[in-house]
Amino acid sequence: MSDRIIATNAVSLAIAATANLTLISKFSRGPASFVGHSIVIVGWYISSFLLIPAIAVASISLQLPSTQGNSFSQAFYYACFACGLYFIVSSLMLISVYAARSGYYSEEAKCVRCETALTYQTIIFKAYLLIGALVFSNIEKWNYLDAVYWADNTILTIGLGDYAPKTHLGRSLVIPYAVGGVLLLGLMIASIQSFLTQRQKRKTSSIMKETQHALLKRLQSSKSKGKINEEDFKMFRDIQERVSQKHRWILLFGSGTAWFVLWFLSAAIFKRTESVQNWSYFQALFFTFIALMTIGYGDLYPVSNAGKAFFVFWSLLAVPTITILVSSMGDTIIKRLKDNSTRLRNLVQQFGDFSRKKSSKYSARSVCEGKTLDTEHRMSPFQNSPSIGSRRSALTKGKMCDESTQPPIGTENRAIEHGSKDPMEEIGPSLGKGQPYYHYLLIKEISNVAAHLFTSPSRKFTYDEWAWFLALISRGEHAGVSRANIPDEFEWVTSRDIGKPGIYEEGNGSSSSNWLTNGSYLKSGKSEAQWMLEQLIMTLKRELIPRVEERR
């Protein structure tokens, strides 16, 4: 009877290994075909169904003597965990494949690099743990599954102390083994955090589509006429921030709930498995908390086969749970504390340096006349030149020079501080106001936006910057590019797109500037700098290709 159980278990393991290899191959080649998904899902289902009769037979015929205090071996409980995991994961993957093929999420989201890295790192981590357990079981003469329990304690830095190497060779090898395990664990945690970041971006992008529909409804009103003023833009930014914060707090609540469930529910299970030690629920609760915090006093530890097997499964499950909790706390509670401490520090500095700040408040000078800038002429955080609104106001008062004498946007502070001049600044004004100057502006802005491509947190452009960039992309030379002639209300969505989804086509300049239609920033799932850089490069490409073809 035991031979049949072992054979069934071996077949189940072989089929599951084949499914796992297919899964690895799927990630290596990118999005898999229907056949690849089917092999993985069906393989895991078969492995789960094969283990069910094996577990049922073993529970009747392979019980241990009651004098040992254990009804079943650790292998029996690991088989139960494997059977349940095969079924749950295959069901989740079946739902995921169905959702992907039904168009629930985009093709771009189906295979993410961080998910692939996390899959490989998890497999390597488990292999490292199991191979190390095999080595130390031979060195220390331990039972293999007891060695797995020890390796789990060691790599996760829990260290309960019930198992420890006694031989000189074992103590010598535990040093590099523990270091390697901790490094692999750190890589896996980093991949989990990257995965969470990508999921958060995708979730925020999907939620922002609801805001897009709300803005489109507003644009249908007779007053807006397809235009969004600066107040509307600020309102959108507020909505964007509230949606992002709401999602972060929901993630914190969910991860916190999962952590508490993992804590309290596992305590009830350990109370049951360690009945031979007469643990109370509070003792089990104390043990699980100490283990989750990786403190490991060593006064309490599982001795039953069920307790050891569940401890390995439970501790590995705790790794992503705690990682998600800590990451979400960093985005919410810790961020709030840091912001409050920054405000407090700024208040103290403002109070202590009030006199110095008062003397330096009006130290900025006008570019053309050297006059002190009024607070109305604020400096855009992205450019060193005054914002569009201040230029417009100054032009009406005659206080600013002609646009052709102004430095193009993005002039670096260091050029002013060191008295040096960007060579591009000498080229720009000499190009006149035709196509060469327009191409120069595109190249200049591509350079400026690229500098913010990998900043953290990601750069968010102001209303003036969006208006300028969109005018540069969609209007260009045909409307006379000038930073002074941007209107108070910019046509973010063309009138023909109001009330109906637009169609983005590469090479169509008018559609590339749409902010609320298909192909827009809101639907791209990219950062503002990345999306804007792609649009500027596409515009420059569209401008230069005809000239290259003319010269052929």
Which of 260, 236, 259, 253 is CA-nearest to residue 332? Answer: 253
- Residue 249 is encoded by which pair of tokens? 């707090």
- Which amino acid makes up residue 65? P
The pLDDT tens digits for 107-136 are 444 455 667 788 889 999 999 999 999 999
CA dist 527 and 408 (Å) reads 24
The SS3 call for residue 525 is coil
Task: Find the helix or strand (DSSP H, E) in which 447 lies.
Answer: helix 435-450
CA dist 329 and 248 (Å) reads 9
DSSP string for 278-295: T--HHHHHHHHHHHHTT-
Which of 311, 188, 200, 337 is CA-nearest to residue 255? Answer: 200
- Which amino acid makes up residue 273? T
Please compute the mean of the pLDDT values over residues 521-527 and round it to a whole number: 68
Please say whether the beta carbons of 449 and 529 come within 8 A.
yes
The pLDDT tens digits for 463-490 are 888 888 888 887 544 444 444 444 444 4
Q: What is the CATH number of domain 108-223+231-352?
A: 1.10.287.70
The pLDDT tens digits for 55-76 are 999 888 777 765 555 678 999 9
Q: What share of the chain is helix, strand, coil (3-state, %, to 5)?
A: 70, 0, 30
Pick from 220-224, 407-411, 412-416: least confident = 412-416
Q: Where are the domains of the chain?
A: 1-60+72-104, 108-223+231-352, 425-491+522-550
CA dist 461 and 448 (Å) reads 12
Which of 254, 142, 143, 274 is CA-nearest to residue 200? Answer: 254
Please say whether the beta carbons of 367 and 407 come within 8 A.
yes
Which of 62, 86, 82, 81 is CA-nearest to residue 73? Answer: 62
The SS3 call for residue 10 is helix
- pTM for the full predicted model: 0.73
The pLDDT tens digits for 186-210 are 999 988 888 887 777 777 666 666 6
The SS3 call for residue 379 is strand
Per-residue confidence at 414, pLDDT binned at 50, 70, 90? very low
Contacts of residue 372, defined as CB under 8 A and 6 or more positions apart, other chains included, come to 362, 363, 364, 365, 366
Please say whether the beta carbons of 471 and 433 come within 8 A.
no
Per-residue confidence at 455, pLDDT binned at 50, 70, 90? confident
